[in-house]
Chain A
Amino acid sequence: MGITRRAALAGGLSAPFLMSGRAGAQAPSRSETLLLVQEYGPNSLDMQGIGSSQPVNGVALNCYDRLLRFKPVPIPGGGGNQVSMGELEGELAESWQIASDGMSCTFKLRDAKFHSGRKVTAKDVKWSLDRAVTIGGFATTQMNAGSLEKPEQFVVVDDKTFRIDFIRKDKLTMPNLAVTIPFVFDSELAIKNSGGDPLAKEWLKNNVAGSGAFKVESWKPGVETIYVRNDDWACGPLPKLRRVIARDIASPSTRRALIERGDADISYGLPPKDFKDLADGGKINVVGVPIPNGVWGLYLNSQVGPFKDVRLRQAVAWVLPYEKMLQASLFGRGVDMSGGPETPKPAWPTPFPYKTNVEKAKALVAAAGGGFSTTLQFDAGNATVAEPMSVLIKEALASIGIEVEITKVPGANFRTEIAKKTNPMTLNRFAGWLDYPDYYLFWTMHGNNSIFNIANYQNPDLDKLIDAARFTTDKAAYEKYVVDFVSLVEREVPMIPISQPTHDVAMQKSIGGYQFQPCREPDFRYLTKGA
């Protein structure tokens, strides 16, 4: 009796499952809609605003236009396109011309319309770029990185002509116009709704006022964002997708199950092991791009603690099990950064000449006065990769008499910890949007001591080389500066590069047109969904 009742109950419970399955299969919209699952979604719709999270870049990318964009080039391993930093194409700009003295650039705007129906004018471009350099926080810092610093640099010539005056010759200025910060708002709409704030911060945080290829149909922070195509988009070929649903699914296991069962079209941000399994399984396309200008590195504090002694920094570089770390923490989804040539190529990240050699390391430790204990920290948010990596570091260093204690620092606290610059060892991943070696070193090893100079490295010779490389216009001289400063940090090793991770995305076989962007958010404008 009891058993039959239970069986009946179980049947009743499963009935709604079956019915919904049928109802779902009949829904016509699925074939025109892309379903993307990601760990977390945007916390704002305004990438220029203070405190915007990583996914907000995707809103900026898809719902707004910039003057310029990076040119797509095929990924060497296939699977889609990445971008070429040096080559730009017009987005809102129909054409552009750099002045003969090289100190300004004039842009001719396309006939483009905002989602509101109003025409895009040079006035809107100026309002938006002025906003980016004055709003403060990340947006302003990013603009400054390309020598875009003052509103006076942005000049409205006429309705369809816009000029940027350079304050110095800086090769980062033009590429910096293609990142996700200097996008163009509908300034009239924004001011009308601003409630008195000249930058309309509150309103733009919750509303899109752009001319981009997609509009935001609905946004539920922490739950989902729904995009619909802007059929009047003027700045490129009309996207194939009509509608995109981006759902926030916190659990990586659930995201993996969804993509494997075929319910989600694209899954972002899985652990490296899942990407490896999916790639090996062969049912799902996994496209990996080595993150440009991104590398996992072990930062050794050069001002405080034992690693003041360069011999100990070199000893650590000689003892790390590079290949094992790549396999155990990234599951091979990355590029090994050991065993490079004596004279480096003018590139970054580039393999350092170190490879695992315990004898050499032991000799260096003995010369520096023998073993000791120290601590290693990493951001708990990166634990999936950083934890196995740090355990291998601990094990390797024990073999040369260095005892390591590992500390996992919660996300909110990590910034505070690295800002102190007192921790002997820090394992971290840093990636620069603009793919130039001097840009990377400017953030991580320059004497201006930004928060990402975690090793607290101070060397006037290095600063001179980085600054010279940044502002030179001569290509040969540039490459020489790069080789010189890379050789310098290879000798000094304030940071030991471990692996250049790949940025992986898992997609159904029916999805085409994958486009990798330096901001690492999905670009819906190029994606296609087959039958």
Chain B
Amino acid sequence: MLSLIGQRLKTTIPSVIGVIIVTFLLTRVLPGDTAAYFAGPAATPQAIAEIRSKLGLDQPLPVQFVSYVSALVKGDLGTSLTTGQAVTADLAQRLPASAELTLLGLLISMAIALPLGVLAAVRQGSWIDHLCRIVATAGVSLPVFFTGLLLVYVFYFILGWAPAPLGRLDAFLSEPPRVTGLLLVDSLVAGDGETFRAALSQILLPAVTLAIFSLAPITRMTRASMLAVLGADFVRTARASGLSSRKVIGTYAFRNAMLPVVTTLGMVFSFLLGANVLVEKVFAWPGVGSYAVEALLASDYAPIQGFVLTMAILYVALNLLIDILYGVIDPRVRMEG
């Protein structure tokens, strides 16, 4: 197992190096002049030039790259001009917020999508299959910001069940002591029931928004993969051997159908983590997606590079995790590794 992880890690090194180079170059070719933007209104050309040299933007590209990489080796991702803070600090602050939201969204989504997909495959053509189709189509065709605004409108504005969409915690409560950065976990660790409830009520609507969006790929993938497996020889053999339907579907078919589903889950998770900008905007969620987009609008290089790099590393880690999961689900994969 360890050698498998080592080998996998080795293959990811070139892609990480590639990501570093590409993001560096991409941010430099973006139109827009960071120095002119941050010199603010009424800036003189001298003021702009001063800022440019302070940021090192007057240096030739290779020099800028070397200083970027040498800082990177020391774990320094630079300073964001939009928040005025170190990028590592910003990301450390915001990544848990995004991760918590995405994880909960994915959990809700899985709790609905997996049973729904399995049932749809087992009772192909029944009403549950149609329901599955409707859910999948609706989930894909409703843009997240629309679902988000709709949920806010119904549950907060009209019904008043949900708390004000003010971010991760009510404005009048303070955060629990930081352990993991996930408020739900931290408040439980601190044994603070009130904060836990408050954090949960804040996170539910955005998490449900994300869940609705990610329902579609997971349901469809589960259904398709279950269908393929249910038609396979070993399932027929199992049925012919007189095993109960529950045992056939639950133990044999489902486990075999999980491989493509796990892959999809990985994809959906990494996609959601970076791409839920709109949900973050609607619910004022202080996550990494909106952070990166704001930096992009201001041509603020350091956060963009930091964001892309973090995402790349997360993606690599996630893929590794999925590879390992494959081995757990299907022993044949383990042998090949």
Contact = CB atoms under 8 A, between A and B. Distances in A.
B34 A412 contact: yes
A381 B294 CA distance: 11
Interface string A1-33: 000000000000110111111011001011001
Given A136-B50, A257-B152, A261-B157, A410 B297 contact: yes
Contacts of B157: 257, 260-261
Contact of A254 (B81, B284, B297): B284
Nearest to B97: A223
Nearest to A29: B172
B112 to A, nearest CB: 9
Contact of B37 (A18, A141, A249, A415): A415
A69 B39 CA distance: 26
B73 to A, nearest CB: 23
B44 interface: yes
Interface string B67-94: 0000000000000011111000010011
A52 B41 CA distance: 11
Interface in B230-255: none
B271 interface: no
Contacts of A261: 156-157, 160, 164
Contacts of B31: 410, 412-413, 416
A414 B33 CA distance: 9
A423 to B, nearest CB: 14
Interface in B276-333: 280-284, 286, 290-291, 294, 297-299
Contact of B32 (A250, A412, A443): A412
Given A17-B161, A412-B37, A142 B42 contact: yes
Interface string A258-288: 1011011000000000000000000000000
A176 to B, nearest CB: 13
A21 B72 CA distance: 46
B335 interface: no
A273 to B, nearest CB: 16
Contacts of B51: 50-51, 137
A137 B50 contact: yes
A412 B47 contact: no
Contacts of B36: 415-416, 419
Interface in B24-43: 30-34, 36-43
A20 B156 contact: no
Contacts of A220: 93, 286
A413 B298 CA distance: 8
A245 interface: yes
A435 to B, nearest CB: 15
Contacts of A392: none
A254 B50 contact: no
Contacts of B284: 247-251, 254
A254 B152 contact: yes
A66 B70 CA distance: 43
Given A20-B197, A253-B149, A14 B283 contact: no
Interface stretch (B7-15, B134-142, B198-206): B198-206
A450 interface: yes
B103 to A, nearest CB: 17
Contact of A412 (B33, B83, B90, B198): B33
Contacts of B40: 50-52, 137-138
A27 B149 CA distance: 28
A450 B46 CA distance: 12
Contacts of B166: 37, 247, 249, 258, 263
Nearest to B194: A23
A326 B202 CA distance: 39
A136 B286 contact: no
A387 interface: no
A451 B43 contact: yes
Contact of B164 (A141, A223, A264): A264
Interface in B190-217: 194, 197-198, 200-201, 204, 208
Contact of A16 (B197, B280, B294): B197
A446 to B, nearest CB: 13
Interface residues on B, range: 35 or more
A138 B41 contact: yes
Contacts of A16: 197, 200-201, 204
B35 to A, nearest CB: 9
Nearest to B39: A137
A450 B47 contact: no
A221 B43 contact: no
A438 interface: no
Contacts of B208: 13
Given A138-B39, A251-B282, A254-B283, A415 B33 contact: yes
A411 B33 CA distance: 10
Interface in A136-170: 136-138, 140-142, 145
B42 A141 contact: yes
A35 interface: yes
B44 A141 contact: yes
B33 A416 contact: yes
Interface in A379-393: 381
Interface string A115-141: 000000000000000000000111011
A205 interface: yes
Nearest to A253: B149
A222 B83 contact: yes
B201 A17 contact: yes
Contacts of A33: 172
Contacts of B54: 50
A104 interface: no
A452 B44 CA distance: 11
Among B42, B43, B282, B299: residue with most chain A CB under 10 A: B42
A293 interface: no
Given A223-B286, A410-B297, 19 more contacts: A16-B197, A16-B201, A27-B172, A30-B172, A136-B47, A137-B51, A138-B47, A145-B42, A221-B84, A222-B82, A247-B166, A251-B282, A258-B166, A261-B156, A263-B166, A381-B297, A415-B37, A419-B36, A452-B42
24 contacts: A13-B204, A16-B201, A20-B163, A37-B166, A43-B82, A43-B84, A50-B40, A50-B47, A51-B38, A51-B39, A140-B47, A141-B43, A141-B47, A245-B172, A249-B166, A249-B284, A250-B284, A253-B149, A254-B284, A258-B164, A258-B165, A261-B156, A381-B297, A415-B37
A-B pairs, top 9 by smallest CB distance, nearest first, are A412-B32, A412-B299, A221-B83, A51-B38, A263-B164, A138-B40, A415-B36, A413-B32, A249-B284
Interface of B: 30-34, 36-44, 46-47, 50-51, 54, 81-85, 90, 93-94, 149, 152-153, 155-157, 160-167, 170-172, 194, 197-198, 200-201, 204, 208, 280-284, 286, 290-291, 294, 297-299
